[in-house]
Amino acid sequence: MRRFCLVLVSIALGAPLFPSALAAQEESALSTHHIAAGLKIACVSLHDGLGILYVADPASPKEVGFVPLRAPALSSTMVLRIDRYAHRKPGIVFVAQGESGFAIIDISDPANAGLMKTVRTAGSAKRLSLMGSVLAVAEGNAGVSIYDVSNPSEPTYTRTFPIDGTVQNVRQYNGRLFACAGTAGLFVIDIVTGGTAPVPVAIPTAGDARDVAFYRNAVFVADGRHGVTLLNLTDRDNPKIVMTLPVKDEALEIVFHKSYVFVADGKRGVGYFKFDRPGTLEYLRQLGADRNYVNHVTVADRNLFVSGEFDSVIVFDIHRQDRPKRLR
């Protein structure tokens, strides 16, 4: 059994988004190793390849496959196939590999998964965001590149958006790209109503924009040592900063789930906040992580997955959101 070190878990479930009987799943993570998953299969980004896990029981994943890669796997996102009975099954995984671009891996048969091809990028592919047939690639100083993945095995380059900063992370939400560029702030690009040449709109934040999460017109920014910044995007052309709340260490990644916000808070575990729909955040408490440095959080179903610079994944049952219960 391969030992998975520095594993970050990201499990996202959702309805089919591709008209051609394919479903795209949005991944979430912020570090060099993490998991992107759908249904019962998870893909683990590792320094020497992509591990494949069976996660029917998320508190006890089991390895079922491994695909060696020449360059480290930094992050990944998964496309699920839909069979004739509308069952979602493992399909293709896109894997960011830094200076090597991104890889395309077929995991339709997890035990015999294999590399299909590698796509070179202009910059260093750090993170990927998949929504529908649009694959966005965070490429550091080269900005954000867009690929059409209507045919997932043959991505077509569309364009690149230059960003005045180093893009560490990118998300897609409601027809817009959100590029996290560290101390340069957050950049929003409207790729639906922005015309043929949409211009990135800069939103300076107080700290070091690392990640974003969304709920309707509210945007939550993991802002490094400055904490969590709450933005209001009711006016698409004039985003407003509502408030910033401090964290105990540094906000590295963030996830929203049913009125609650969970923040990867470095050496202080997980910050736990409640979102008041009129537009305010209330700090509740910290969730411990055995004194490990936490740089990833994600939610799937009713479970909160926590991981970072340690060789295990901590899972909390958050069905009772006011009383998270640790599973492992």
Q: Give the residue from 29, 15, 8 showing the smallest Cα distance to 252.
A: 29
Q: Give me the pLDDT at residue 164, please.
A: 92
pLDDT digits (tens, 9 = 90+) for 54-95: 877 767 778 888 999 888 777 777 665 544 444 445 588 889
pTM: 0.80
Which residue, among 138, 121, 142, 120, has the nearest Cα to 130 in the 3D structure? 138
What b/e sequence results for 167-177 when a residue is b if at least 16 CB atoms lie within 10 Å of its CB, and e otherwise? bbbbbbbeebb
Task: Supply 290's token pair.
Answer: 């055995």
Which position has the higher pLDDT, 125 or 60?
Answer: 125
Task: Please report the pLDDT score of residue 24 as a whole number.
Answer: 27
Of 305 and 58, more confident? 305
Q: Kindly report which listed range (16-30, 147-161, 175-189, 297-311) carries the lowest average pLDDT score.
A: 16-30
Q: What is the DSSP string of 34-90?
A: -EEEETTEEEEEETTEEEEEE-SSTTS-EEEEEEE-SS---EEEEEEEE-TT--EEE
Distance CA 274, CA 322 (A): 10
Residue type, 130: L
Residue with tokens 């043959």: 154
